[in-house]
Amino acid sequence: MGGALWNFLFFCIVLGVLVTIHEFGHYLAARLCGVKVYRFCLGFGPVIFRKVRKNGEEFAIALLPLGGYVKMKGESVEVTAVEGSATDAEKADQKKADQKKAAQKPGQGWANLASNSFETDFAQIRTGTKPDSAFSTKSTAALVREAERAAQDNQAKLSDSFADKKIWQRTLIIAAGPVFNIILAFLIYIVINSFGVSAHLPAVDGIAPGSRAYEIGLRNGDLITTIDGREVYTAGEAWMNLGSFAGKEVDFTVKSDFGRGPERALQLDLTGFDMIEDDFFDYIGMGQSWGEMAADVSFVEADKPAARAGLLPGDLIVAVNGTKVANFSEAVALLRADFREQQLKLLGPIPEQITEEYIGKALNAPYAPIKLTIVRRYWDEGLLPPDPAADFSATTDEAFFARGRDHKLNQAWYDGLKAVARARASVAPTSSEMFELTVAPNVTVNGQNGKVQPHLGMGAITLDSALVWTEVNFGPVEMVTKAFHDTVSDSLLIFRALHSFVAGDIGIKAVSGPVAIATIAGETASLGLSFFLKFLALLSINLGWMNLIPIPVLDGGQLLYLAYEKVVGRPPSVSAQNFLSILGLSLILGLTLLAIFNDISYFWL
């Protein structure tokens, strides 16, 4: 329960900050353009807090923290969504309306549901069936005509009305909300850069011979430097940018030997890749590097398949099932790729829902034993590793996957193992011999994704993890230019992901909702301030650009109306705006329900 409360707390913080900044953009632009503001509201539904300023502006907080709006004079002609629900033209006496609002106590909003209106920025959609008493004797068509006439008659007199402003002013007011979200992200990145950046560099590892990554020329230790002509600095940035090219080909450059070698250009074909359905690393056959690894076997765990087959520390694996490999990392990558292929042949495609029955079949499938071709080397110095049974508290897989995360192992054992591995790499053996071993691995099945994991009971040590970590401190100019680069890079990432979603290259499972946002907010907050701020910046950029999509109800839809007015010379009719608003609202609600369903499926089913 503590985890859920933690996530909810930071979900509220994230949403509160982003919505407040967005609506403040609208509010500030409206005030600068001389438009009267009636209400600045955070949230939807019944009002739980309100404060009315001397100039009549009302600042309110509503019960449902899922958005907000700024209500301005003359921003729209409120229209009827359902026959019998009345419209609200600009009140003849706004002062009385303000007094009535001010007199209402917080939480009393449920009593006003007779009007059944849904407020958004620049639109009010009425969906009720109970007519307001002041209009109960009039038809919907008459109400609309009356509202249109009232708006036309009063436009010349309403100098502080949104409708009375020039198109460029109204454009500024509408666009200010999304723009403020993007500016917020830029400012957050300046703050992050002022701390200095501890970055995990985008170096690759675990590239299996025959994989897509191997075929295009990627090799272990390559450092990705640019993607689509733009520099990348961190592993997370690189993986997200590559994944956003789902369904397309992407050009990128790498430098060998962890960035110390020459740069070369590569091209990756992702036309069959789905960023949500497919695991990026599995799809192209590579992994993330945690540093320079020993080429040979660093340790063999007692009474495990590798030990029973006769493998010893210091053995150099040169082939797996007859396919040559250059080092231990390639051997493990090929081993996993072989088991993925066997899993597909023996069990068919992995089902969407991993059942106990499927896990049982996967555990007991007749996997072929592995043939390892090894070179056994001998040294007069007797370079043997520390005994893994002596104070060894981690499993083999933790040892292998703990590249760069030494705290998972007994530190003394790890340091001793590293010293032996480095000594072996620097001293030539006095003799060697080559032979084959046959190993029947133990297997486990991941209960979430259904993947089979082979376990042999062997591992390799990381010789130098510092090669994939960097600490960067920026000066005043650099932190601003880096913040600009980060903002542009995240924006391009969102554009590519949106294009891939529309094109069908990313499935509908990519749509995430409040549960996912809350979970990530809580997780990033647990990792530290920089991680949380990074998530907040990315979400703010996403909110800004998504609001500019030309869907009615969103800011982009209102900008589309203004573009129509600029070209045609008049705004779209009230009935057209009403129809499109309901259509847009239906689309948004549909996506929201889809997002919530995906959240439930992912986190609870």
Per-residue pLDDT tens over the stretch 166-181: 999 999 999 999 999 9
Buried b (16+ CB within 10 A) or exposed e, 308-334: ebebbbbbbbbbbeeeebebbbbbbbb
Examine the pLDDT at 589 and tell me if it is beyond 90: no
Q: Which amino acid is at 426?
A: S
Residue that wins the pLDDT comparison between 250 and 391? 250
Give the mean pLDDT of 519-525.
82
HSE, side-chain direction, 13 A CA sphere, residue 295 = 15
Q: What is the pTM of this model?
A: 0.59
Examine the pLDDT at 14 and tell me if it is beyond 80: yes
Cα-based distances in Å from 206 to 80, 219, 328: 61, 9, 9
Instruction: Please give the domain boundaries of the chain with CATH numbers for all domains.
Output: 2-180+536-603 (no CATH), 197-289 (2.30.42.10), 293-445 (2.30.42.10)
Residue 122, pLDDT score: 62
Q: How far apart are CA 389 and CA 354, in angstroms?
A: 35
- DSSP letters, 417-441, are HHHHHHHHHHS--SEEEEEEEEE--
In which band, very low, low, confident or very high, does the pLDDT at 254 lie, cut at 50, 70 and 90?
very high
Examine the pLDDT at 113 and tell me if it is beyond 80: no
Name the token pair of 124.
Answer: 């009010």
Q: Which amino acid is at 235?
A: A
Q: Is 412 helix (H, G, I), strand (E, B) or coil?
A: helix
In which band, very low, low, confident or very high, does the pLDDT at 154 lie, cut at 50, 70 and 90?
low
Q: Per-residue pLDDT tens for 58-71?
A: 999 888 777 788 88
| CA-based nearest residue to 300, from 439, 419, 464 | 439
> Residue 293: CB partners within 8 Å, gap ≥ 6?
205, 327, 328, 329, 403, 460, 461, 462, 463
Q: Per-residue pLDDT tens for 184-228?
A: 999 999 998 888 777 788 999 888 888 889 999 999 899 999 999
Give the mean pLDDT of 277-297.
83
| CA-based nearest residue to 228, from 220, 237, 236, 219 | 237
Examine the pLDDT at 336 and tell me if it is beyond 60: yes
Residue 29, pLDDT score: 93
Residue 525, pLDDT score: 82
DSSP summary character for residue 102: H
Examine the pLDDT at 270 and tell me if it is beyond 80: yes
Residue 111, pLDDT score: 35
Name the pairing type of β-strands 123-126 and 79-80. parallel
Portion of the chain with pLDDT greater than 70, in percent: 79
Q: Is 262 helix (H, G, I), strand (E, B) or coil?
A: coil
Beta bridge partners of 46: none
Examine the pLDDT at 156 and tell me if it is beyond 50: no
* Angle between helix 140-154 and helix 574-603 axes, rounded to 10 deg: 110
> Residue 76: CB partners within 8 Å, gap ≥ 6?
122, 123, 124, 577
Residue 528, pLDDT score: 78
> Residue 498: CB partners within 8 Å, gap ≥ 6?
none
Name the pairing type of β-strands 117-120 and 292-293. unpaired
Euclidean distance between the first and final Cα of the chain, in Å?
A: 18
Q: How many CB atoms lie within 10 A of CB 275?
A: 24
Q: How far apart are CA 124 and CA 578, in angstroms?
A: 9
Residue that wins the pLDDT comparison between 499 and 36? 36
Give the mean pLDDT of 306-316.
92
Residue that wins the pLDDT comparison between 49 and 76? 49
Q: Per-residue pLDDT tens for 292-307?
A: 888 899 888 888 899 9
Examine the pLDDT at 281 and tell me if it is beyond 90: no
Examine the pLDDT at 501 and tell me if it is beyond 80: no
Measured at the CA of 522, the angle between CA 518 and CA 526, to 5 degrees, comes to: 170
| CA-based nearest residue to 317, from 468, 462, 456 | 456
> Residue 484: CB partners within 8 Å, gap ≥ 6?
186
In which band, very low, low, confident or very high, does the pLDDT at 231 lie, cut at 50, 70 and 90?
confident
Beta bridge partners of 316: 375
Give the mean pLDDT of 115-123.
53
In which band, very low, low, confident or very high, does the pLDDT at 393 lie, cut at 50, 70 and 90?
very low
Q: Per-residue pLDDT tens for 560-586?
A: 999 999 999 888 888 888 888 888 888
Examine the pLDDT at 320 and tell me if it is beyond 90: yes
**Considering the chain, what is the average pLDDT of its residues?**
79
395 phi/psi in degrees, rounded to 5: -75, 165
Name the token pair of 193.
Answer: 């850069």
